[in-house]
Amino acid sequence: MNAVLLFAFVFLAVLGPPVKLAAGLPVLRPEMMVVGVALAIRHTRMDFQGDVPRLLAGFGVTAAVAIGASYGLFDVPYDGSDFSIFPMLVQYWLVYCFGLACIRKGMRAGLLWAVVLAVSISSFIALLQKLNLFGVNEWLTPLYVGPDGVHAFIPQWLASGSSTSRAVGTVGDPRHCAMMFGYGVSAALTLLLAKGDRTFKIVLCAAMGIMGAGLLVTYSRTGVLATSGGFVVGLWLAVRRGGNPTIPLLMGGIAALAILFVSGRLGVTEEESRLTMSASEMVDTSGYARIRDTLEPFQASLTNPLILITGMGPSKAVLPGSEHGETGWLVMRYGLVGFFIYLAMVRRAIIRSLWINLAGRPSEAMMASFVLKGITVWMVFFFAESVFKLAQLMSINLLLLATAAGVLGPATRRVSRSELGDGEARLRSNKGNTKPSSAGEQIVSDPDLQL
């Protein structure tokens, strides 16, 4: 049952179209139906165990203060959409609880395969959109974009066959679609670095080629940068643990050649310049918008410092920019408190995963590596897009955080400190250093890591 629930959640999170209930309410993500089933059969419990649920609750308090300040201090007109932040936080909390339960019950490699398969299908759909095959942009693409959203023009744009059109896959926005593809490449690379059957590795290379081609037809520079960053982090982690990156590098090169071949068949013309644009050209175009939206709350606070203390509330009317970047979006709406709560969730997952990757068991180290690559993709987009309000992407992000918290299962907690220390000593012996380190002991003794 755990495998069925986990696969269903990942496939619906990646491939399921959003369900809009009513104006002013966040869209209902189909993967939440899986969470509901998990709660009904007691596969998942609603609790506040761990850092993330408590931080989400703290963020809810911060949001309430920001909403009060928006009406009482900043005289912002009433906007009912302000209160949609609270069901959104509940949704994130439930997803985290579900992910934590799944990881603790096993299916760790299954999670990676689910991500690879689901994102590969999404990438294939993106290629169909770019090539406009089977009329996909007339009946399928609108399900993900929606007729009344800011990107409602995209299906017609893609259907026209314009060389400047950008595929959106199953996410509805080319930039956010590229972020999803970055997660898929991270999962595939993690499985490539692990020991496994050669046939599976060939399948993974093919999947990486499809995802890479899908990434290119989104023409997202941030997506290319984020995915490359995840790839570099994955190889660094492999070397750090004492592995040999030669085979992954070779396979990655084969995947890269496949990407170049497929992209060369796509007839890219005008939009090709997006991926080869110079740094100065990037700053003059969308780079300017990202810099502006990052600096705007701090510039506004020079006239009213309360912005940094309370924020001005989650109303979208507050920030007139295009919300490029998480910093400006969070600080303007929730103040520095909300901003640092967000970073605290990610920071704990990074620290935990770095420890596990070095001194944990192979299956645990593999999952920690996936988390770190996925968070690399997330954090690159942190500086270019506002992600926290995107329920579809946050479903995957919270699964990453849950994986970081749940990968230390009962078997690992029963391992003695000396055994962990000896394990790390063996890892370090590959580098000529046989002196045990205390990092393995920290995993057990650090109270923040006790689950």
What is the DSSP code string of 89-102?
HHHHHHHHHHHHHH
Q: Are residues 338 and 441 in the same domain?
A: no
3-state secondary structure of 19: strand
Q: Is residue 311 part of a domain?
A: no
Structure tokens at 159: 């259907």
Q: Is residue 315 part of a domain?
A: no
| Rounded Cα gap, residues 374 and 206, in angstroms | 20
Q: Are residues 125 and 238 in the same domain?
A: yes
Q: Are residues 337 and 419 in the same domain?
A: no
Q: Is residue 125 part of a domain?
A: yes
Q: Is residue 295 part of a domain?
A: no
Q: Is residue 201 part of a domain?
A: yes
Structure tokens at 296: 């705007």
Least confident window among 60-74, 95-109, 303-317, 378-392: 303-317
Mean pLDDT of 403-427: 54
The residue with greater pLDDT, 86 or 77, is 86
Q: Are residues 444 and 343 in the same domain?
A: no
Element (H, E) at 126: helix 108-131
Q: How many domains does the chain have?
A: 2
Q: Are residues 44 and 89 in the same domain?
A: yes
Give the residues across from 28 on adjacent strands. Answer: 19
Residue 445 has pLDDT above 80, yes or no: no
Q: Are residues 397 and 419 in the same domain?
A: no
Q: Are residues 364 and 421 in the same domain?
A: no
What is the DSSP-derived secondary structure letter of residue 272? G
3-state secondary structure of 257: helix
Structure tokens at 14: 């990646």
Q: Are residues 421 and 407 in the same domain?
A: no
Q: Are residues 46 and 141 in the same domain?
A: yes
Backbone angles phi, psi at 214, to 5 degrees: -60, -40
Q: Are residues 371 and 431 in the same domain?
A: no
Give the residues across from 19 on adjacent strands. Answer: 28
Tokens 């974009």 correspond to 145
Per-residue pLDDT of 131-159, as tens digits, reads 999 999 999 999 998 766 677 889 999 99
| Rounded Cα gap, residues 65 and 423, in angstroms | 48
Q: Are residues 445 and 327 in the same domain?
A: no
Per-residue pLDDT of 238-269, as tens digits, reads 877 765 556 556 555 555 555 555 444 444 44
Per-residue pLDDT of 13-53, as tens digits, reads 999 998 877 665 667 899 999 999 999 999 998 888 778 99
Residue 112 has pLDDT above 80, yes or no: yes
pTM: 0.82
Q: Is residue 231 part of a domain?
A: yes
Mean pLDDT of 111-130: 96
Q: Is residue 299 part of a domain?
A: no
Please tell me the predicted confidence (pLDDT) of residue 136: 94
Residue 108 has pLDDT above 60, yes or no: yes
Residue 385 has pLDDT above 90, yes or no: no
Q: For residue 180, count CB atoms less than 10 angstroms from its CB and return exposed for 0-12, middle for 13-18, buried for 19 or more.
A: buried
Q: What percent of the chain has pLDDT over 90?
A: 41
Range of the domain at 252: 2-265+323-412
Q: Is residue 124 part of a domain?
A: yes
Q: Are residues 328 and 443 in the same domain?
A: no
Residue 122 has pLDDT above 50, yes or no: yes
